[in-house]
Structure 1
Amino acid sequence: MRDQDKVLIVDDEQAIVELMGLYLKSDYDIIPAYSGQEALDKVKSEKPDLILLDVMMPDMNGYEVCRVLKTSVETQFLPVVMVTALSGKDDRIKGIEVGADEFLGKPVNRLELVTRVKSLLRIKHLQDKILAERNEAMNYLDVAGFIIFVLDMDIKINLVNSKGNNILDYGEFELIGHDFLKTMLPEALRADISEKFNKALIGESELPEFMEHPVLAKNGREITVRWYNVVLKDKEGNATGILCSGEDLSKFQ
């Protein structure tokens, strides 16, 4: 039997925190917070599964808190429900822009609150399962000894396996979002490989069977790698990025 999900309730008015906690405490572990900064601290220490976040708070408003959470690799998939007395279209758009997953109006309706929380947590559990399966697959690749990068359509790094991070001396999330060409390749190679990648992504040509070239570790050291690159495609056959799997050849030199 799994532990109860944790719901972080954030509002500078204690009565509102207690009321929403009362609505949810029979099914969830409730974590209270009364300011934006306290909310961020509780996210780190308590690892909640969902956040009910007030918009209007004096020190750091809910939009700012949500922006911090949704721009962090570690918390970008954490569901955030904005709870607000504001009802204007612009306020909702602002919430969407910072990554809010749902909205609830004040005063909070008990049935609506319970339904939204249950629905978002169901989605989160599915995401967690998918991520766990992906991580298990990546662990197999680590054991096999390959460096793995997943690049998006802009050649930005979406994923690196632990083998790649270890060989290149980077932290777990340090490379995510960086331009692969500018960050990982010596300058003399960038134009040629950029052309190969971009032509493959638009279907103009195929990627070579393999490519041998150096990549840069964090300290600037060059590591020679044999790369086997494949264009990733969705169910309709449209390119979505590139999977780069590489074998570290420096260990044989």
Structure 2
Amino acid sequence: MKPRILIIEDDETNVEILMEILQDDYTLHVSFSGEEGLDNICSFAPDIVLLDVMMPGMNGYEVCRHIRQNPQLAFIKVILVSAKAMLNERLEGYEAGADDYITKPFDHSELIAKLQVFQRLKYAEEMNKVK
């Protein structure tokens, strides 16, 4: 079974890029706002959320905080994706509960590598639960 990724991104061009990179190896679902992403997260049950930071309405930091406050969702890995590259902005993302942060424009191979790391971590966590 392919890992499941929820993409929460308001820019259609960025969504198209992510879909092109990921569609062969992942089951993808797209939400175009933070509110829509939170509405879809339980029904889609992603392994990983790729979350844009700068969105109208609820921004990515707020969405991440909502995910972390829900014990049923706390296991989901969250990668913030943003053009905001300053240290204080990245730290705000980690403080909001993000597992990782990648800045736009990003190298496709770096994104794939990060996703593979999270797949290995998830597998290790599942193996520890079995023991």
| Band the TM-score falls in, shorter-chain normalisation | over 0.9
The equivalent residue for 2:8 is: 10
The equivalent residue for 2:69 is: 71
Q: Which runs of 5+ in 2 are unaligned?
A: none
What's the CA shift string for 1:163-211, capped at 9, x where partnerless?
Answer: xxxxxxxxxxxxxxxxxxxxxxxxxxxxxxxxxxxxxxxxxxxxxxxxx
What's the CA shift string for 1:93-149, capped at 9, x where partnerless?
Answer: 111111100111111211011110111121012213323x27xxxxxxxxxxxxxxx
RMSD value over aligned CA atoms? Answer: 1.1
SS of alignment partner, residue 7 of structure 2? strand
Which 4+ residue blocks in structure 1 deviate beyond 4 angstroms?
Answer: none
Q: Distance in 2 between matches of 1:45 and 1:79?
A: 16
The equivalent residue for 1:246 is: none
Number of aligned positions between the proteins: 131
Residues 1:29 and 2:22 are matched in the alignment: no
- How far apart are residue 11 of structure 1 and its match? 0.7
Q: In the alignment, residue 82 of structure 1 is paired with which amino acid?
A: L
Q: Distance in 2 between matches of 1:129 and 1:40?
A: 28
Q: Which runs of 5+ in 1 are unaligned?
A: 135-253
- How far apart are residue 59 of structure 1 and its match? 1.1
SS of alignment partner, residue 80 of structure 1? strand
- Which has more helix, going by share of residues? 2
What is the TM-score with the length of structure 2 in the denominator? 0.95
Matches within 5 A, 1:185-224: none
Q: Distance in 2 between matches of 1:19 and 1:8?
A: 14
Query: Which structure has more RCO (C-alpha within 8 Å, separation ≥ 6)?
Result: 2
Q: Distance in 2 between matches of 1:83 and 1:57?
A: 11
State which structure, 1 or 2, has the greater radius of gyration over its C-alpha atoms.
1
- How far apart are residue 17 of structure 1 and its match? 1.0
Q: Distance in 2 between matches of 1:22 and 1:30?
A: 11
Q: Distance in 2 between matches of 1:99 and 1:38?
A: 19
- How far apart are residue 41 of structure 1 and its match? 1.4
The equivalent residue for 1:245 is: none
The equivalent residue for 1:40 is: 38
Matches within 5 A, 1:131-170: 131=129, 133=130
Q: Distance in 1 between matches of 2:120 and 2:10?
A: 28
Q: 1:99 aligns with which of 89, 97, 107?
A: 97
